[in-house]
Chain A
């Protein structure tokens, strides 16, 4: 089955700096890659997603890049703010089992003032 690895497990950055979280997947058939943000005690919330027919997607301060050949995708957050502090999860799924998301282990991002 699919396996998703996520690095780093924790990340501390100064406010205003950029943060990058990387994930690799094993199943070459995976074609959907969402990123979720989970604040303490709250539900995971989708922040951005990308499909395999696109190499990069951007939404304001957040961007995701996908390298299908290397089977890895990354989340980039620019101009980090304290409210960006949370746990971020990457995930992967594929057509046919699109609702079966395989998640990475999460990255705890702390934005320091």
Chain B
């Protein structure tokens, strides 16, 4: 099976702009989670989508949002970009996630590196 893919791989934006990142999970996986990775804060959970519904949410401001489509592909959006939003944004997919830890193994995509100037 093809792995998790993310587009674009690199992105440069300026403060105040908005950005949309895309993630295609492994075929058959219905859960998509998003993480922000920075040198200072490490890997932090943003949110998880399952069957087009946000099921879990981390502690990020409302400027960070996401959605999932019927084919399980997911997008995340960041509005009014700030310098501190510069990070590697990783998505991960798993087959079921959520309610059971039996099928929760998460497979990460290569990430989108966002630079905010």
Question: What residues of chain A have their CB less than 8 Å away from a CB belonging to chain B?
Answer: 1, 31-32, 34, 36, 42-46, 49, 51, 89, 91, 93-106
Instruction: Decide: A101 near B42, CB < 8 A? Known: A43-B108, A95-B101, A96-B99.
Output: no
CB distance from B6 to the nearest CB of A (A): 9
Complex Cα distance, B92 from A39, in Å, reads: 17
Q: What mask results when residues 90 to 115 of chain B are scored 1 for a CB within 8 Å of chain A, else 0?
A: 10101001111100111111110000
Closest-by-CB residue of A relative to B39 is A106
Closest-by-CB residue of B relative to A100 is B56
CB distance from B47 to the nearest CB of A (A): 9
In the complex, B45 has a CB within 8 A of chain A: yes
Inter-chain contacts of B92 with A (CB < 8 A): 99
Complex Cα distance, B24 from A111, in Å, reads: 34
CB distance from A66 to the nearest CB of B (A): 13
Complex Cα distance, B59 from A49, in Å, reads: 25
Q: In the complex the two chains form, is B108's CB within 8 Å of A98's CB?
A: no
CB distance from A109 to the nearest CB of B (A): 16
Interface set, chain B 11-47, CB cutoff 8 A to A? 31, 33, 35, 42-45
Q: In the complex the two chains form, is A32's CB within 8 Å of B101's CB?
A: yes
Instruction: Decide: A99 near B105, CB < 8 A? Known: A44-B90, A89-B43, A105-B42.
Output: no
